[in-house]
Amino acid sequence: MAQREHWDRIYRSRAASDVSWYQPEATVSLELIRRAAPDLDSAIVDVGGGASTLVDGLLDAGYRDVTVLDLSAAALEVARNRLGPRASGVTWVEGDILTVPLASGFAVWHDRAVFHFLTDPRDRDRYIARAGEAVMAGGHVIVASFAPDGPTRCSGLEVVRYSPEGMHAEWGAGFRLVDSVREEHHTPSGAIQAFTYCLCRVDDPNARSTDSGGTP
């Protein structure tokens, strides 16, 4: 509940375009999703999507099966209001990704900056298990976190920073690393934050590598 209140308070007190993680266009995410799922009927879930403009980009690109999940009702309301009538074509899920009921059969699981808030290894294991349950075999997981030279905190909360190798070590052998991308994100205030994006193919979500839980 405390985390929900934290994020609700942010989105009710500040414009979505003023928060440090705001992107006018989610360019890197869109490119990776198009690469992983060129079929416009592919089911895509944006975990922690909240007020992100990624959903706008996905709809503009013609994707027809998009789910946006976030802990904060206030963040989801921002996105729905921005989309107007187009919001009815999106599935909106409010809840904690570690516990909320979630459909299966997704072709793409996308997360920009939720996973790096999971500082407890048990929460990371639960998160990865949920992704394995939700994504079809042969589907893809795209996860972005602060890079090793990125910030150590975000919105007053501690984060875990990852290199591509460290990120993949957390996920394990059942998630095959296809590619990684570094992004220099420019915040609305002009600061630069380094992000690591990992694109993984889901081969066998039950197979965890021996180096799982390695050093980020």
CATH of the domain at 138: 3.40.50.150
Residue 164 forms part of a structural domain:
yes
Residue 34 forms part of a structural domain:
yes
Are 115 and 97 a contacting pair, CB within 8 Å? no
Residue 134 forms part of a structural domain:
yes
pLDDT tens string, the chain, 216 residues long: the values are 588 887 778 888 888 888 888 899 999 999 999 999 999 999 999 999 999 999 999 999 999 999 999 999 999 999 999 999 999 999 999 999 999 999 999 999 999 999 999 999 999 999 999 999 999 999 999 999 999 999 999 888 999 999 999 999 999 989 999 999 999 999 999 999 999 999 999 998 776 543 444 434
Structure tokens at 189: 């205030």
Residue 214 forms part of a structural domain:
no
Pairing of strands 192-202, 135-146: antiparallel
Dist. CA 168–CA 75, nearest whole Å: 29
Domain that holds residue 132: 2-202
Residue 212 forms part of a structural domain:
no
Looking at the structure of the chain, the number of domains it has is: 1
Residue 186 forms part of a structural domain:
yes
SS3 66: strand
Residue 208 forms part of a structural domain:
no
Residue 128 forms part of a structural domain:
yes
